[in-house]
Structure 1
Amino acid sequence: MASNKDPLLTELKGIILKLRSEDKPINDHHLELRNLCECFEKIFRKGLKNPGSLFGLYKRDYWSWIESLPNYTFNERLNPLFSIALEECRNSQKVRTDQGRGRLFIRIALTKKILSVALEHLVLNPKLTEYWYKPELSIIGNEIFIESLMSLLFLITEIKFDLNVKNASFLDETWMMGVMKQFELVPCKDLGVYVKHISNKAVVASVEAGSVAEENNKIEVGDVVDELFGENLHGVSKGKIPRLIKDHEGWPIYITVVKCYMKNGRVYPPIYERLRYVKDEMPEFDMPRDRNLGPSNPESIGNGAQQPELASDGSTIYRLKYVGNINVGEDGGTYIIESAINKVMKLNGTDEDNFKPVCLHLGETKVSIKSPDNDDVIFQHSYPEISSCGRRLDAVNYLAYVAGDTTCTISKNFICYVFYANAEAESRTILRNIAQGFGRTTWFV
């Protein structure tokens, strides 16, 4: 008998309950916003078919069916706000992929309280729903699960979201939101910034001392110039910025940037990746480093957790303690994790002073466990090898992931690796990122 619950719906309900308890509107930098958006994305992708693909040579994302809905609404009128949101996503020059447009739609829909509208139109047409989703694998294609999801979407409408939907230039790459700032600078012929165009972004490589841009650190090295005089700069030619300044000579300069630094003082990872190319071309370039904002940092994960570090290869580093591992046989499912952690704790004790300090590197394609002393790799696993991850509900600082001896879909031997985090929030963040990692690998590989 199939379960009448889905872990993603349970996760979504928990996030919604946390957000509903907030007194203030939810903005781009709320710690649970990314969790919420990632959870929706997982739900929209779960059991998604790939209709129209010749021999599976390309994939469609959930944006594909959202965008197609107006073609199937013959007898009912589309919600005007939904139509506006569709056009905004279609016409946006800041997102260039189906993934980016889908993410932009989710953000707009949360703000306009219309996320349920798309699903309502889809499920009104059972044949269309079946065309896009596998009933046995999806939430949206399952009659019981979709009712639960619609109930949760109703609760979402009671939460006020104050999101800057113009902050969209990195949605093709990540759900992590950068800090967007808008400035009005005095009229001038030269901003005093040197810009490098890298991967469709105008990255500030240097700022002239005493220039209008440098005043009060409004524009800093590593910032990405997102808009100038209201015009989007994503993917523009190298001469666009000076041409715009010349065309608006004598006007105040209206400029929008995505800051190099996030609220927590870390360098924004998508920008950091581009800065490495600047360093390759300009050896004298001084790479921005993470800032330590101290305990007053509003984005601090708190409760004993330490801020993660950023490695030179762009991976995120967490300093944990390795408890041990145990062979769990031929099944690497999530349900074995709690018992596996319990067995490792019984074998190795619960005195954290006896656990081995390690650095867990979360990269784009793999998880690496390295020595904190010399950066030697102790062991590592690609995301396709990782079958599940989780933690004990009664000992939330303990976390684990399960990996096979080859790609997890064909592996017959799985091992559970157990770690001890500095705080509950840290273990939760690590698990979320590991889950996102093998979800991303499944999608793009």
Structure 2
Amino acid sequence: MQNGSKTSDRSWNKMAISDPLLRELQTILKKLKEEPKPITDYCVLLKPLCETLERILRKGLKQPGSLFGINKRDYWSWMESTPNYVCNDKYNPFLNRAIDLTKSSPKLRTLQGRGRCFIRLALAKKIVSVPVEHLLRNARLTEYWYDSGLSIIANPPLGEALMALLFALTDINFELDIKNASFLDESWVIPVYKRLELVPCTSLGMTIRYLDNRIFVVKVEENGVAGEDNKIEPGDIVDELYQESLYGCKQGKVNSLLREHQGWPVYVSVIKCRLPDGTIYPPLVSRIKKLKEELKEFEVKKLNKKGPAPMPAHALLPQDYPEQAPVHDPEGKAEFNAKYVGQVSTGRYGDVAEIEGAVEKAIEQNKQQQITENKEVHVELTETEVIITDLKTNKELSKHSYTEISSCGRRSDMTKYFAFIAGDTQCSVSRNFTAFVFEAESADESKIILCSIAQGFGRTSWFV
């Protein structure tokens, strides 16, 4: 068996493996190695990988005799107790952190869900081999949990082959949304998860219904904050509000949190009812059917035959159009040239609804002042801020952190023009907002710049 270091001389992909589950894992691993980009939640190989790992961990797992299976075990049963059996000098601190995070998640209620959450964490943190390695170092513990005649883990040759494959998995970059865990109790299929920051408001403009310990959106007002740009739609689930999980919460919790944070932006995380391909998320099919039977007004929006309705240009996120997302340099910057049209005060309002009027007003101001040529500027989008520089004089015209920017977007009828709105301090407390309007070289570049600004929001949240 390997002892904590990755194998190089022994090539995992040329190993002769007899167990069908290990061969399946080996095949998936080969395909993952060929992927040019990090593996995300929507990679088609992720689900079969996780399912195969789960079957391997369950194979030969001993079940103690118990009445009605009350004490039934799962692989998480031994994983969560691993720190109790590891010497301090050989212990991986990342393992302890991953176990603690899994235990503390309010979104998981079953051994299966916690085990699945841990597998996703272990893949993302490159420690998927660590718990198995610790278990195999303790022969008595391995024998206690696994049947050597049935399992892969407790069979020395197969256990060694498994460790080689698990070590190889740590070479792959997994970029998984660990907080997207609310349905791991039921399914390995990961739903679309959206984090939104809505403008301060007294009402979100939507009707909710509690079903199976979850908060379903059953109706959205067309002109309400939640309904803007189809951010939240009927059939979606409100998963978090102000970073508090709403799974299993008491009725009235939503209104209580809104009152508690009155005057502040509304931070909400939503599980979308549809997957990226437009189909209903499988665990929601029966629940949506039940809601339709109980509520006549409830209806999930229909899709066009070609697929999901296109998002407005200013609502594009990099994950929605990954081929259009800008490529940042090694320092995490994206840089563009554009023309500065002007700035327009939007008063106390910084939401995206102000963009359309601000663009039109900035253009009209230039006409009135007989400005025929807009100033050429350099737009630099760093990890934390947007910097605008005059190309001719090299003078910095403005600098705004993403915490000061409340929204960004463009008009649908003048797609070369784009704008962002910023407050005179952090937008969550600012009462004085200004729209900065620009003209890109093309409509496509305007879209890419907005995607890049959205990436900046994505490192915290996207202001819309």
> Which TM-score tier does this pair reach, normalised by the shorter chain?
0.5 to 0.7
Which residue of 2 is the match for residue 40 of structure 1? 53
The secondary structure found in structure 2 opposite 1:257 is: strand
Distance across 2 between alignment mates of 1:287 and 1:90: 34
Distance across 2 between alignment mates of 1:202 and 1:285: 14
Question: What are the within-5 Å matches in structure 2 for residues 39-118 of structure 1?
Answer: 39-51=52-64, 53-54=66-67, 56-74=69-87, 76-118=89-131
1:223 Cα deviation from its structure 2 partner: 0.6
1:288 Cα deviation from its structure 2 partner: 4.9
Distance across 2 between alignment mates of 1:259 and 1:295: 12
Do 2:277 and 2:307's aligned partners in 1 also have CA atoms closer than 8 Å? no
The secondary structure found in structure 2 opposite 1:26 is: coil
Within the candidate set 195, 200, 207, 1:187 is matched to 200
**Unpaired runs of 5+ in structure 1?**
300-445
1:285 Cα deviation from its structure 2 partner: 2.4
Which residue of 2 is the match for residue 273 of structure 1? 286
Distance across 1 between alignment mates of 2:221 and 2:174: 38
Which residue of 1 is the match for residue 424 of structure 2? none
Q: Does 1:17 align with 2:30?
A: yes
Do 2:216 and 2:236's aligned partners in 1 also have CA atoms closer than 8 Å? yes
Which letter maps to 1:174? Answer: S
Distance across 2 between alignment mates of 1:53 and 1:189: 53
Which structure ranks higher in relative contact order (CA pairs < 8 Å, sequence separation ≥ 6)? 2
Give percent identity, aligned residues only: 51
1:77 Cα deviation from its structure 2 partner: 3.7
Are the structure 2 counterparts of residues 233 and 26 from structure 1 closer, same or farther at C-alpha, using a change threshold of 3 Å?
same
C-alpha distance after superposition, 1:304-338 (max 9, x if no partner): xxxxxxxxxxxxxxxxxxxxxxxxxxxxxxxxxxx
Question: What are the within-5 Å matches in structure 2 for residues 162-177 of structure 1?
Answer: 162-177=175-190
Distance across 1 between alignment mates of 2:48 and 2:85: 31
Are the structure 2 counterparts of residues 152 and 272 from structure 1 closer, same or farther at C-alpha, using a change threshold of 3 Å?
same
Within the candidate set 231, 254, 261, 1:241 is matched to 254
Structure-1-length-normalised TM-score: 0.64
C-alpha distance after superposition, 1:81-123 (max 9, x if no partner): 0000000000000111110000000000000000110001101
Which residue of 2 is the match for residue 373 of structure 1? none
Question: What are the within-5 Å matches in structure 2 for residues 194-233 of structure 1?
Answer: 194-233=207-246
Which residue of 2 is the match for residue 157 of structure 1? 170
Which letter maps to 2:128? Answer: L
Which residue of 2 is the match for residue 130 of structure 1? 143
Paired residues in the alignment total 297
Distance across 2 between alignment mates of 1:292 and 1:155: 42
Which letter maps to 1:197? Answer: Y
Are the structure 2 counterparts of residues 296 and 244 from structure 1 closer, same or farther at C-alpha, using a change threshold of 3 Å?
closer
Which residue of 1 is the match for residue 352 of structure 2? none
Are the structure 2 counterparts of residues 21 and 256 from structure 1 closer, same or farther at C-alpha, using a change threshold of 3 Å?
same
1:72 Cα deviation from its structure 2 partner: 1.6
Distance across 2 between alignment mates of 1:290 and 1:100: 31
Q: Single out whichever of 54-63 and 153-162 deviates more from structure 2.
A: 54-63
Question: What are the within-5 Å matches in structure 2 for residues 369-384 of structure 1?
Answer: none
Do 2:278 and 2:307's aligned partners in 1 also have CA atoms closer than 8 Å? no
The secondary structure found in structure 2 opposite 1:202 is: strand
Return the index of the structure with the highest Cα Rg.
Answer: 2
1:76 Cα deviation from its structure 2 partner: 4.6
1:59 Cα deviation from its structure 2 partner: 1.5
Do 1:116 and 1:154's aligned partners in 2 also have CA atoms closer than 8 Å? yes
Are the structure 2 counterparts of residues 265 and 136 from structure 1 closer, same or farther at C-alpha, using a change threshold of 3 Å?
same
Do 1:197 and 1:203's aligned partners in 2 also have CA atoms closer than 8 Å? yes
The secondary structure found in structure 2 opposite 1:115 is: coil
Which residue of 2 is the match for residue 31 of structure 1? 44
1:295 Cα deviation from its structure 2 partner: 12
Are the structure 2 counterparts of residues 291 and 109 from structure 1 closer, same or farther at C-alpha, using a change threshold of 3 Å?
farther
Distance across 1 between alignment mates of 2:266 and 2:223: 16
Structure-2-length-normalised TM-score: 0.61
Which letter maps to 1:156? Answer: L
The secondary structure found in structure 2 opposite 1:25 is: coil
The secondary structure found in structure 1 opposite 2:195 is: strand
Are the structure 2 counterparts of residues 276 and 130 from structure 1 closer, same or farther at C-alpha, using a change threshold of 3 Å?
same
1:291 Cα deviation from its structure 2 partner: 6.0
Are the structure 2 counterparts of residues 273 and 150 from structure 1 closer, same or farther at C-alpha, using a change threshold of 3 Å?
same
Distance across 2 between alignment mates of 1:38 and 1:244: 37
Distance across 1 between alignment mates of 2:145 and 2:306: 46
Do 1:279 and 1:285's aligned partners in 2 also have CA atoms closer than 8 Å? yes
Question: What are the within-5 Å matches in structure 2 for residues 383-422 of structure 1?
Answer: none
Which letter maps to 2:230? Answer: N
The secondary structure found in structure 2 opposite 1:256 is: strand
The secondary structure found in structure 1 opposite 2:269 is: strand
Which letter maps to 1:168? Answer: A
**Unpaired runs of 5+ in structure 2?**
1-15, 311-318, 321-464
Are the structure 2 counterparts of residues 14 and 118 from structure 1 closer, same or farther at C-alpha, using a change threshold of 3 Å?
same
